[in-house]
Structure 1
Amino acid sequence: MNHSPRIRTVLGCTLLVAALGAGVTACGSSGHPLSAKPYDAASQISFSGPVGSKKADPDKALEVTSQGDEGRITDVTATDALGRYVAGELSADGRRWHTTSPLAADAQYTLHVSTEDEDGAPGRKVLTFETGNPSKEKALKVTFGPEGGKYGVGQPITAELNKPVKDPKARAIVERALKVDSKPAADGGSWYWVDSKELHYRPKEYWPAHATITAHSNLAGIKVTDRLWGGKSKPLTITTGDRMEAVTDAGNHYLTVYRNGEEINSIPVTTGKPGFETRNGVKVVLGQEYSVRMTSASIGAADFYDKEVYYATRVTWSGEYVHAAPWSEGSQGNENTSHGCTGMSTSDAAWFYDTFRKGDIVKVINSYGEDMDPFGNGFGDWNLSEKKWTEGSALSGTDKPDPVQQARLSPEV
């Protein structure tokens, strides 16, 4: 906002004091216009906002103009009920002030308008109004995932939008409003747009162990596009446990388990045989099932099998598990004979099943298989480098958040 008219008024008072040599007395004299109580400026200004109980259209800019040829507007401030400021601009001649950022929907606003007449006497007017609520068809809502609970340090935070957002500028507005915090703090972190309706958030390298992670949206009432406004969304809180990592070396047929960086177990395993090689890369535990029926038809294998598998820890949606495979114990630790899963003895699988939880890390190295997909078949988010990950953000290449958007999302302090 342009505060220059107010500054000139104060300087004029200072010069008058110096000229009269009377200190504050001259400026505070009852005969000077600035000593008077501010008059009601209602008749001096015109406001484009609603009258009475009507609500303002948040799509339209607000305007305050000076009426007549005498006097001018010196300052206008506009805030909502939470103390968030609306950006505005005052013309150089003091004749017009207007908003330069959109209003929030379904919000209460207060405008403080300052004026002065031809003699320099100050006027004041306080205006209050409410904005309307866009139709439900325009509401953009966010569903955070996973469900609240305790997870491993590899669990990404997800944000599912109920409507697609494709425009880069609109995506930036959405992304700035989606907040994720970790205590203790994680190293780095940003959102990645998987597609027009799904975002994932992860730090640079896993979450801290025993952390509390919260996600919430500040989108409520925020204009995203001409046809889309932010709606209210439920916040999310999850916690992490120990940092649990399982590293399967398909070349030497062993799975090594680490807790908080220290090795706690080494298990002989068998992984995918030629033609069914296990995927390389980092996967995240998706869930656990005590028993799963696995058939050759589910993966199109030529050699027939139909088995009830126990202590199954799932790592991809397409059916890759760490599970008990008592029929292959002779090969475990020696050769790869499975159709892509990691097989081990029943006792080892039961231990793994009891030790790992959703969000824990399962990594495969030295396999001849393809690399784990980043998205679409589980959580392969960690297989993208930090550089590639940040390129998936709508804010990539920006050093600072948009100042207008920040003013609307956060109260001034």
Structure 2
Amino acid sequence: MSNRPRTRTVLSCGLLLVPLAVSATACGGSSSEPLSAKPYDAADQISANTPDGKQKADPDKPLEVTVKGDEARITDVTATDASGRYISGELSADGRRWRTTVPLAAGTRYTVRVSTEDEDGAPGRKTLVVETTDADDRLSVKFGPDSGDYGVGQPVTAELSKPVNDPKARAVIESALKVDSAPRVEGSWHWVDGKSLHFRPKDYWPAHATIAVHSNLDGLKITKKLYGGPAKPVRLTTGDRIEAITDAGSHQMTVLRNGKEVNTIPVTTGKPGYDTRNGVKVILGKESFVRMTSASIGASDFYDLPVYWATRVTWSGEYVHAAPWSVGSQGAANVSHGCTGMSTGNAEWFFNMVRVGDIVKVVNSDGESMTAFDNGFGDWNMPWKEWRDGSALKNKASTTTGAAEQQRGTADAARLRPQV
């Protein structure tokens, strides 16, 4: 018979820890335990399959905590990593054993807090510190764009350090890449290829939204030998909803702010053979001066022009820019080599009005449709169902929770050629 105080506590009804990165609470507890009942040190009663402080645990094997002898039982266990994230586990019905139910993360330090009760009802406590071995092969992630202010059309990108094609591995990765927004929106990741993912809402981002992007992949097991690596989080904000709608048929650009028209500008777009692409484009950058030459796009008619107030919408060189040489045609005819030209004053106004991530939409052109991924951000031209089908989690609900490299990396010279 134990000499410890015979104070009876209420047993926990069994431990059910929620998945990684979500807080956990036992559904019972020892709330009836008198404040004077100080827990005893249960070190002599508890053992683990990884000796505390003596060796590192294999992340491929579950962590198991057991109670020795017949004089005590486990009532509660919590296991958290250094950032406070919980790992799931289950307690046996007889209270003799607790074990993790999901793989441990590689290269991670866990604090495991064990609560016990002896045969007389006295509460015991034991804290274990468990470190797991690191992984030889890590998958890192780079989010884009850089933190900052953007337009409502800006997609989020994730660039992986190596290609992943296995559907199950993709599901693990995608589940760990988190996009939180305020206000909350419906959105989804889409796998562009084995190394690149884009995230967009069903519709454009709300005006004046905050978007936080982070990864829970670090240390997470992806395949038998591949584990997740680190990722730098990014935080984006959106401004007003700015949309520029260029009608190539009427030779007019209508600029909307939050759905209301603020300007109508006479323009010229691509002439036959150089027709401007139809569809939704996202502003990629702004350059107050660009030199544009016919050689850059292989045009048969020679030109070498200094161009001012140039707002880029494709990697292949489509801009909205000042074109003082074509003022006589603006509002009446399409005479450019694919860009949208306007007067110098209107181009400067437009340049100062918009930001990276704002929307430029072209309609009624004889040109081809803007592609989704290979010439800038044409993401919004893909129907939502098709976009969702590109997710490894397409059968799950797609929303951000409340709260890859920017613009697909460094393009080669051929994709950076400007055109007028």
- TM-score between both structures, scaled by the size of structure 1: 0.79
Larger helix percent: 1
Q: Mapping of 1:10-409 within 5 angstroms?
A: 46-65=47-66, 75=75, 77-81=77-81, 84-90=85-91, 97-105=98-106, 106-112=108-114, 114=116, 126-132=126-132, 134-135=134-135, 137-183=136-182, 185-399=183-397
SS in 2 for 1:336: coil
Structure 1 position 126, deviation (Å): 2.3
Change (3 A) 1:364 1:43: same
On the 8 A contact 1:145/1:158 being kept in 2, the answer is: yes
Cα displacement (A) at 1:124:
5.0
Looking at structure 2, the residues matched to 325 and 146 of structure 1 have their Cα atoms a distance apart, in angstroms, of 30
Write the letter of the residue equivalent to 2:310.
A
Instruction: Mark the CA change 1:37 to 1:241 in structure 2 (over 3 Å): closer, same or farther.
Output: closer
In 2, the alpha carbon distance for the partners of 1:293 and 1:83 equals 53
Instruction: State which drifts further: 84-93 or 391-400.
Output: 84-93
Bigger mean CA deviation after superposition, 92-101 or 151-160: 92-101
How far residue 171 of structure 1 moved from its aligned partner, in angstroms, is 2.1
- Percent identical: 60
SS in 2 for 1:352: helix
How far the C-alpha of 1:398 sits from its partner, in A, is 2.0
Equivalent residue of 1:225, what SS?
coil
CA distance in 2: counterparts of 1:187 and 1:400, whole angstroms: 9
- Counterpart contact for 2:52–2:128, Cα < 8 Å: no
Q: How many Å apart are 1:76 and its aligned residue? A: 5.6
* C-alpha contact (below 8 Å) 2:57/2:133 kept by paired residues: no
Following TM superposition, by how much is the alpha carbon of 1:307 offset from its aligned partner in structure 2, in angstroms? 1.9
Contact 2:278–2:368 under 8 Å retained in 1: yes
Please tell me the residue identity of whatever aligns with 2:77: T
- The unaligned stretches of length 5 or more in structure 1 are 9-27, 29-35, 402-413
Q: Is the 8 A contact 1:209 1:241 kept in 2?
A: yes
> Match of 1:180, as an amino acid?
V
Secondary structure of the 1:256 match is strand
Letter in 1 for 2:110: Q
For the Cα contact (< 8 Å) 2:322–2:347, is it kept in 1? yes
Structure 1 residue 168: Cα displacement: 2.1
Amino acid at match of 2:348: A
- How many equivalent pairs are there? 366
**How far off its partner does 1:230 sit?**
2.6
Indicate conservation of the 8 Å contact 1:324/1:346, yes or no: yes
CA contact (8 A) 1:76 1:113 kept: yes
2:412 aligned residue = none
**Does the aligned pair in 1 maintain the 2:251–2:334 contact within 8 Å?**
yes
For structure 2, the residue ranges without an aligned partner over 5 or more in a row are 1-10, 15-32, 400-420
Q: Which of 167-176 and 70-79 deviates more?
A: 70-79
Mapped to 2, the partners of 1:336 and 1:400 lie a distance apart of 42
Alpha-carbon distance between aligned partners in 1 of 2:208 and 2:302, rounded to the nearest angstrom: 45
What does the per-residue CA deviation read over 1:72-105, in whole Å, with 9 as the maximum and x for residues that have no partner? 8555624115554433345567665432211133
**2:275 is aligned with what amino acid?**
E
